[in-house]
Amino acid sequence: MTIAIVDAYDHPNIENDLAIFSSQYGLPSCTTANGCFRKVNQNGKSRPLPRVNSGWALETALDVEWAHAIAPGARILLVEASAATLSDLMAAVDYAKQNAQFISMSWGSGEASSETANEYHFNQPGVSFFTSSGDSGYGGGWPSSSPNVVAVGGTTLTMSGGQFVSETGWSGSGGGCSAYETANPAQAAFSGYAQVNCGGKRAIPDVSLVADPSTGVAVYDSVNYNGYSGWFVVGGTSVSSPMWAARSAVLGSPVNASVIYGTNRITFRDITSGSNANNGGSCCSSTTGYDMVTGRGSWIN
């Protein structure tokens, strides 16, 4: 199985940083030499690579390291877009979908009426697309609003002594009704969809995993970010998207709306508390069944 990470700009030290992360946590080596890791530009070439951007480098380190942590037996393909523009990111997605079965996209923007013209980028038989639902609470975004991707929201995960204590909806988890996209048939037919009152529009997110920065994850990044390099604690739905892509690689077969809403192949923890309401709005709260904070919930088996 191959997981493609699509990000913008270059992380010049990512293979070395992944090695440090893997050593710290006893993970198997994932290198170019052993065939586990490959880094290319948006055209699939090893050169030239984009310029370095420290913010995107931290994102890349997070995505690559946690994809490897969740699916240590999978190969990782890092596709670096030349810039954080729609055309460059979509070019990177187009290469990724020809060379991987699972794609993680930890980025997005606000919705626009033109977004439906880009849906063809996410139509590839046998390939699963995962994207972050956003970190600003209630409100839609793209590509998470695409009916052809799995939108991944966020939770607050509380542990004690390495043991699970509780999981609640994270306040920053992006969610809501799309302004332009129609719900895919599997979501529209799901018993919990009607309770969110999206009127046939796409509801976001589909699923979730840990994202709250206060219960975040460790990331090693040697690129200087705001005057610091080394170990970081990182959160946001940028965490949960590569985790879902990696967990799907472990499952070993495509994960899409039909699997999430129409089968019992995934066991969910139904998140029934927490809210992503913002700006004084009343939506949304985690509740039994489907909700627009955590979707169907987090993947536990």
Query: Residue 140's pLDDT band (boundaries 50, 70, 90)?
Result: confident
- As a whole number, the mean pLDDT across the chain is 95
Residue 79, beta-bridge partner list: 6, 40
| CB neighbour list of residue 196: distance below 8 Å, 6 or more residues apart | 177, 203, 284, 290, 291, 292
- DSSP-assigned states of every residue in 69-86: HH-TTSEEEEEEESSSSH
Q: Is 236 left (phi over 0), alpha (psi -120 to 50) or beta?
A: left
pLDDT given at position 281: 56
Total domains in the fold of the chain: 1
pLDDT digits (tens, 9 = 90+) for 144-161: 999 999 999 999 999 999
Q: How far, in Å, CA of 16 to CA of 221, rounded?
A: 9
CATH label of the domain that carries residue 157 = 3.40.50.200
Let me know if 274 is exposed, middle or buried by CB neighbors in 10 A (0-12, 13-18, 19+). buried
pLDDT digits (tens, 9 = 90+) for 211-239: 999 999 999 999 999 999 999 999 999 99
What's the pTM value of the predicted model, to 2 decimals? 0.96
Residue 154, beta-bridge partner list: 209
| CB neighbour list of residue 136: distance below 8 Å, 6 or more residues apart | 172, 174, 278
Query: Residue 279's pLDDT band (boundaries 50, 70, 90)?
Result: low
In this model, does residue 79 exceed pLDDT 80?
yes
For the four alpha carbons of 72, 241, 62 and 125, in that order, the dihedral sign comes to positive
- DSSP-assigned states of every residue in 129-143: EEEE--SSSB---BT
pLDDT digits (tens, 9 = 90+) for 89-135: 999 999 999 999 999 999 999 999 999 999 999 999 999 999 999 99
| CB neighbour list of residue 34: distance below 8 Å, 6 or more residues apart | none
In three-state secondary structure terms, 40 is: strand
Q: How far, in Å, CA of 285 to CA of 31, rounded?
A: 42
pLDDT given at position 280: 53
